[in-house]
Amino acid sequence: MAEMQIGMVGLGKMGGNMAERLRRAGHDVVGYDRDPKTSDVASLHELAERLEAPRVVWVMVPSGDPTRATIEELGKVLSPGDILVDGGNSHYLDDQKHAERLAEQGIGFVDVGVSGGVWGLENGYALMVGGDPENVRKLMPIFEALKPEGEDGFVHAGKVGAGHFAKMVHNGIEYGIMQSLAEGWELLDATDIVDDVPGTFKSWRTGTVIRSWLLDLAVRALEEDSDLSDLKGYAQDSGEGRWTIQAAIEHAVPLPAITAALYARFASRQDDSPAMKMIAALRNQFGGHAVSSAEGQHAKGADSPGADVIPPVEAER
């Protein structure tokens, strides 16, 4: 595998570990980060000066405005024949805009969806790549160093935007799997029949159809905190789940599991659900069902003394 020189912009948890994995493979990495303690150069301009033409610069910063601003600034210091790689979690439509603008200057653009998290340094990173075949070919020594050993873990998914589109769908699937594991754990924990919930999860790691790395991580979490009492049930979303559902709507593809998983995360952030307040109010109105006040006291319901007489109903409708 030929050694290459590459600039890495963004040396956080992912970018820093990726730079280290590339160095271990013999590549020359010049890193830039806003934190001077981790940066090899003081600016993107100095980064470009340190790299030999034709340059390869990999951007690994938060998606959205930070990535857009970084790519715009790099466009001012790179030259025709250079290649810019966006390895963050950018939206695939942004990739197409960046590629078009950079192409006007003769600069190539490749988008890479990266999966592997903090474990990627040792295990390798799964790479989903979008871009011109010739640009991808030039970058193969870098991709080979970053990916896991073996034939899997890398795909040239298609044209510009395909890498991030594939990663977007990957993360949407991840939402659904995580939600299923979480619901299964909650049901096991709620029953008085199953005594060993962590052991049950652990038993599934071998020989079952749901064995997976996410299951392994669930087991690890339960080994550290058997009832997860140290955590608050609040789950953020980084955007890819929303984008996946938006793309599904545009293409008229039903995604009930992924959509429900995203909505479950929204629900996790509500200490007191406004929608559930309305449901409680409606149940009280049509059926006289008891409700709880904001202070935790039961309000008047069908069985409460002095409650308004409400015609009986057979069931909620």
3 catalytic, yes or no? no
Say whether pLDDT at 131 is over 50: yes
pLDDT one-digit tens code per residue, 23-46: 999 999 999 999 999 999 999 999
Q: pLDDT band at residue 295, thresholds of 50, 70 and 90?
A: low
User: Which one of 46, 73, 144, 174 is the catalytic residue?
Assistant: 174
Average pLDDT score over the chain: 89
174 catalytic, yes or no? yes
pLDDT one-digit tens code per residue, 266-284: 888 888 777 777 778 777 7
**Cα–Cα distance for residue pair 220/54, rounded to 1 Å:** 45
User: Which one of 167, 202, 300, 316 is the catalytic residue?
Assistant: 167
Share of the chain above pLDDT 90, in %: 75
Beta-strand ranges (E) seen in 94-182 are 108-115, 126-131, 154-158
Q: pLDDT band at residue 294, thresholds of 50, 70 and 90?
A: low
Say whether pLDDT at 291 is over 50: yes
